Amino acid sequence: MKLSHWTLAPLGLLALACVDLKPAPAPPIHWLDLNPPAEAMAPAEGSAGSTTRDSVSLGRVAASEAVTERLMRRTAAHEVRYDDYSRWAEDPAQVTRRALEEALYRQRSLARASTLRLQVELVQLEIAGGAESAAAVTLIALAEDSSGVLVDRRFEGRAVVSEPGAAGEAEAAAAALAAAVNGVVEAVIHN
């Protein structure tokens, strides 16, 4: 029995209809919270002293272009990888600003009008892989008043990822951010 192309065409279409050609669904996006807990912004024991400043005016807080809403993982010394499925729920620069405001408020030194002006840039926010994964945060702070520059340096925070997965990485990043922010506030207040 010889089959013509008119007979084979409907059979071919029927065979294609039986095959599921839909792509697999994309993995869900994990939205991560970077906000450090308020307790992490508490002033250190005995931080009040005679050299503390009365008030600080918080100026510009920005993030470098490398710090985005996507989670960044360091895979080698000069290699990073962005994770499209793990993202910060809020802009990291805004979270950094709020953490600085909280820490300065807890030190009772945040003021609208002050001679000391603080500007901060978030230049690193990443999860470093390897034998022991850790979150790393780097802030560059510039504090100046009418007498000149008082603080102009890098502040780093690091926290070990204690729980595997995106939630553990976000918790470590929040702790690293709190450590860096507290370092900035201590240096500015006690300068």
Query: Which CATH number is 175's domain given?
Result: 3.40.50.10610
Residue 122 inside a domain? The answer is yes
Residue 25 inside a domain? The answer is no
Expressed in percent and rounded to 5, the helix, strand and coil fractions of the chain are: 30, 35, 35
Q: Are 146 and 156 in contact (CB under 8 A)?
A: no
The predicted structure's pLDDT at residue 50: 40
Residue from 179, 156, 160, 157 nearest 168 by CA: 160
Looking at the structure of the chain, the number of domains it has is 1
Tokens at residue 180, please? 């860096």
Residue 16 inside a domain? The answer is no
- By three-state DSSP, how is residue 180 classified? helix
- By three-state DSSP, how is residue 106 classified? helix
| Chain CA centroid to CA 137, Å | 7
Q: Residue 170 sits in which domain range?
A: 30-189
Q: Are 69 and 84 in contact (CB under 8 A)?
A: no
Residue 12 inside a domain? The answer is no
Residue 5 inside a domain? The answer is no
Q: At a CB cut-off of 8 Å and minimum separation 6, what does 7 contact?
A: none
Residue 20 inside a domain? The answer is no
Averages of pLDDT over runs of 10 residues in the chain (191 residues) are 63 67 81 86 55 73 92 88 91 92 77 76 91 92 88 94 89 95 89 73
The predicted structure's pLDDT at residue 132: 85
Q: Are 96 and 120 in contact (CB under 8 A)?
A: yes
The predicted structure's pLDDT at residue 40: 79
Residue 52 inside a domain? The answer is yes
